Structures are given as structure tokens and as C-alpha cells.
Amino acid sequence: MSSANNTTPLHDRDAEVWTIGSILLKPSILDDLAWLSRDDFFHDDLRQLYGAAVDMHHRREPIDAAVLGKQFAGDDWAARIAEIAMAVPVAAHAHRYAEIVADLGKRRRLREILLTGGDAVEQRDDAVDDVLERVESELAGVRTAGERGEPMPLSNAAIDAMARIDEIERRGTAWGLATGLLEYDEKIGGLFPGELTILAARPGVGKTSLALQIADHNAARGRLVYFASLEMSAVELSTRLACGKSGVSNHLLRSGRLNSMGRASLAKAFQEQSTAAIEIHDRAALTAAGIRREIRKRKKRGLVLAVVDYLQLVTPEDRKVVREQQVSRIVRVLKETALEYDVPILCPCQLNRQADSDDTPQLGHLRESGAIEQDADVVLFLSRHQPTKSEPYNTRLSIAKNRNGEMGEVGLYWETSSTRFSCLAQPEFADFP
């Protein structure tokens, strides 16, 4: 353990005492101190007193020195609480005292994270990247702890809503980010900032191909896209994308049977990729915290879309908890990241084997966690290709959940050789960007 750990932790007992004293003078102050955590208090006796006061307040019990003293056994507690009650003449500066306590609590946690991270680096038991991601995840928790977001008056929300509607009318299109599937964009409006969209299917149905196609649609128009690929390499995705856009069969390419025309078409498709604003992160062991970090870095450069392919391959932060909790935490972090950085996140996801027995997948087929259905804003199901004589490669994109819009179904045409999807129906707004 580093010798720096032996330094006296940052604290201010006076500020902690004055905070408790102010609460005893005016218990209603607790309504405005919801951002203050018990762990912000360094001294154990004051931490216990604050926690007891908060619990009593939640139970709508009266709070004063005598009543609070009854929460603890021993005459010494009664004496201490009486002393604290007399330490502050008025409660007018309670917020300032609490801010000092919260600031020092955050500084202690920050220092502990940095010291622990430094010790982990020196001991060399974990990979540096693992230590980095763990530290960044903990730092993100410190950053958001105690945030004091104020409620927004409905009148202000109405102004922002009207501004958004005016922008939609000015653009002449929906507010969301286009997918390139014209019927879907017309019916649903695209992918929306701050929303987590789950694209679920059984293996081999084409969820990666569709996610890549949506990413490319935007990247080809100069919009920055981050693509976290936990299964396929960047080279494999580039090849798949080039085959899709050129119409060249991936089978012919892999078997070395390309003719000169196919080679030329493929070269043109690869050339187009040189100007596409898509960044592929093909690391196999990405955590949700690591993905959050990459999104944060790119948001400063104008990121419009993040794709995480796919959910069940995201490395859990804690491998000791049960799998359902692991997936639940990953989904929650992805949803929080979409909200925090105001970008749509598209996340392909595996369905369980029960989906094989139904023509149309159901929400209950989402693999490993009910939290996927709970936290996702939109859940899309890509059905297996069911060829008919009139439509030899048809499939369906079902909108099974849409928190802010309608549900339904979009017919798609699956081109097997080029692994691309297109809409069966032609929408009215063919110029959706």
C-alpha cells in the first residue's frame, strides 16, 4: 500500500457539526439537502446522526435533539447531540456548511480512487487497460454524485418543445437521426438523441449488417459515428460494408473468384469509405464504462450516433454478480450514457432460443435480463428471412416497444449476397436525409 494512504483524510468537523446543528434547528432544510450523502460525512458519529435524521424525515417524524437522541443508546449520545444543537445559533447558512461537507467528501473519494488505481498499477496484478477502465468508471460515479438538477417549470419545457417542433418544420423531416430505411424513418422518425434502441434477433439473421448499414448511412453524409464492435474486426466490417454497397458477393470474395468487374466495383466501394466519418473500435473486452469514455471523447467532435455490437459481449464491470445483474447494469449505463451525451445508441442484442419457435419474436425472448425491456426506449425485432415465391428474401422489422411513439412493423428486403436490407414499401418522403 502506498505511504500516501497514511495521510490524514480531508475533513472539516466544524462544518459537519454545523450541518447537523442546522438540521436540528430547522428540520425542513433536509428537503433541500437531498444531494448530500451520508458518506460525505467523515466522522462516524456525525454520519450516523445525519443518516438517522434523514430516515426520520422520510418517515415524517419530528426531529429535535431529544427525539434524535432516542435513536441511539447511551448517555454520551444525548450529551453530544445536545452540544451539537447549541453549536449553531441560526440555520441560515446550512447550505454553505453542507456544500463544504459534500466537497470534502468528494475529494476524499477522488483521492482514494487515484491512490487505489496507483497501487494497482504498481502491483501489476491487473492489465493497465482494466485498471484504467475501473478508475474511469469510479470517477464517473464521483462526477455525478450529488448532482443538484433543479426541476424545470412546465412553461420552460413548453418553450423548448415548441422550438423543437419549429426545427422539425424548418427541416421538413422528423427530428430523429435517419436510418436509411425510408419507411422506418417516415413511420418512427429515425433514431432519437438520448434514447437507447435495442435491435434484437437470433444469430445469423443480420443484426450486425443492419446496424452497420445504419451507421454507414450517416457516416457517408459526414456525420460522426462511433461503432464498438465486440465480435468482428474493423477489417471484416469494412469488407462486409464494401460488399454490400458494391453488390459483390462476399462468398465470391472469400473464395477468390472475383472477376475484373467485381474487383472494380469493390475498389470503388472501398474508396468511398475513405471519406466516411465512422470510427470502429474493434476491441473484444470493452466495458460499458469504456464505451461511455469513447462516446464522451467523440461528443466533443460532434458525435451523432453510437453503435454497440452487441450487448451480450460487453464485458461486465463485476464478474462476481449473477449474469442477469451484469446485463442489467450494462443496459443501465448505456441508457444513462445516451441521456448524458444526448446521442442515440443503437445496440444489437441476442434473443434466446425460444424465439426459434415463434414466427414473430416477443419481448420475453430478450436474452438474460428483463432490464433490457425496462430500460430501452425502443426495442426492434428482426425476424428470420421467410422466403416466398413473390418475395424470395423478405423479412420484417418489428417495433415491439417505443416509449415515445407508435409501434408496428416495417417490411424489409434482405439481399443475401450483399448482406443489405432495403424497404419493401416506398414512403412519401423519399428525401429523408
* Non-local CB neighbours of 43 within 8 Å, separated by 6+ positions: 11, 13, 16
The pLDDT-based confidence of 2 (bands split at 50, 70, 90) is very low
- pTM exceeds 0.85: no
Q: Summarize pLDDT for 224-283 with one digit per residue, the tens.
A: 999 999 888 888 888 888 887 776 766 666 666 667 776 777 778 777 777 788 888 887
Please check whether residue 288 is in contact with residue 207, taking contact to mean a CB–CB distance below 8 angstroms. no
- Of 3-12, 172-181, 341-350, the range with the lowest mean pLDDT is 3-12
Residue 32 has pLDDT above 90, yes or no: no
What is the Cα–Cα distance from 338 to 203, expressed in whole angstroms? 26
The pLDDT-based confidence of 431 (bands split at 50, 70, 90) is very low
Length of the chain: 433
Mean pLDDT of 78-98: 84
Segment of 79-83, 156-160, 278-282, 412-416 carrying the highest mean pLDDT: 278-282
Looking at the chain, the whole-number percentage of residues with pLDDT higher than 70 is 80
- Of 33-42, 147-156, 246-255, 280-289, the range with the lowest mean pLDDT is 147-156
Q: Summarize pLDDT for 166-177 with one digit per residue, the tens.
A: 665 555 555 688
What pLDDT score was predicted for residue 174? 56
Position with higher pLDDT, 64 vs 357 = 64
Q: Which amino acid is at 103?
A: D
Domain 3-144 has CATH 1.10.860.10: yes
Please check whether residue 197 is in contact with residue 344, taking contact to mean a CB–CB distance below 8 angstroms. yes
What is the Cα–Cα distance from 283 to 294, expressed in whole angstroms? 12
Residue 222 has pLDDT above 80, yes or no: yes
Nearest to 136 by CA among 279, 278, 297, 282: 297
- Of 47-56, 259-268, 357-366, the range with the lowest mean pLDDT is 357-366
Identical fold, 3-144 and 171-423: no
What pLDDT score was predicted for residue 164? 63
Residue 199 has pLDDT above 90, yes or no: yes
Residue 185 has pLDDT above 80, yes or no: yes
Residue 303 has pLDDT above 90, yes or no: yes
What is the Cα–Cα distance from 297 to 426, expressed in whole angstroms? 38
Chain-wide mean pLDDT for the chain? 80
- Of 140-144, 200-204, 408-412, the range with the lowest mean pLDDT is 140-144
What pLDDT score was predicted for residue 392? 61
Residue 144 has pLDDT above 80, yes or no: no
Angstrom distances, CA of residue 403 to CA of 196, 197, 251, 305, 408? 10, 10, 40, 19, 13
Domain residue limits, the chain: 3-144, 171-423
Reading across the β-sheet that carries 420-423, which strands appear in turn?
278-281, 225-229, 305-309, 345-350, 196-201, 378-382, 394-402, 408-415, 420-423
Residue 123 has pLDDT above 70, yes or no: yes
Q: Name the strand (E) or helix (H) holding 137.
A: helix 128-144
Mean pLDDT of 105-112: 88
What is the Cα–Cα distance from 232 to 215, expressed in whole angstroms? 15
Looking at the chain, the whole-number percentage of residues with pLDDT higher than 90 is 14
The pLDDT-based confidence of 198 (bands split at 50, 70, 90) is very high
Residue 343 has pLDDT above 90, yes or no: yes
Residue 18 has pLDDT above 80, yes or no: yes
What is the Cα–Cα distance from 89 to 123, expressed in whole angstroms? 51
Please check whether residue 317 is in contact with residue 287, taking contact to mean a CB–CB distance below 8 angstroms. yes
What is the Cα–Cα distance from 358 to 364, expressed in whole angstroms? 12
The count of C-alpha atoms lying within 13 angstroms of the C-alpha of 412, restricted to the half-sphere facing its C-beta, is: 28
Mean pLDDT of 363-367: 72
Query: From 3.40.50.150, 1.10.260.40, 3.40.50.970, 3.40.50.300, which CATH number describes the 171-423 domain?
Result: 3.40.50.300
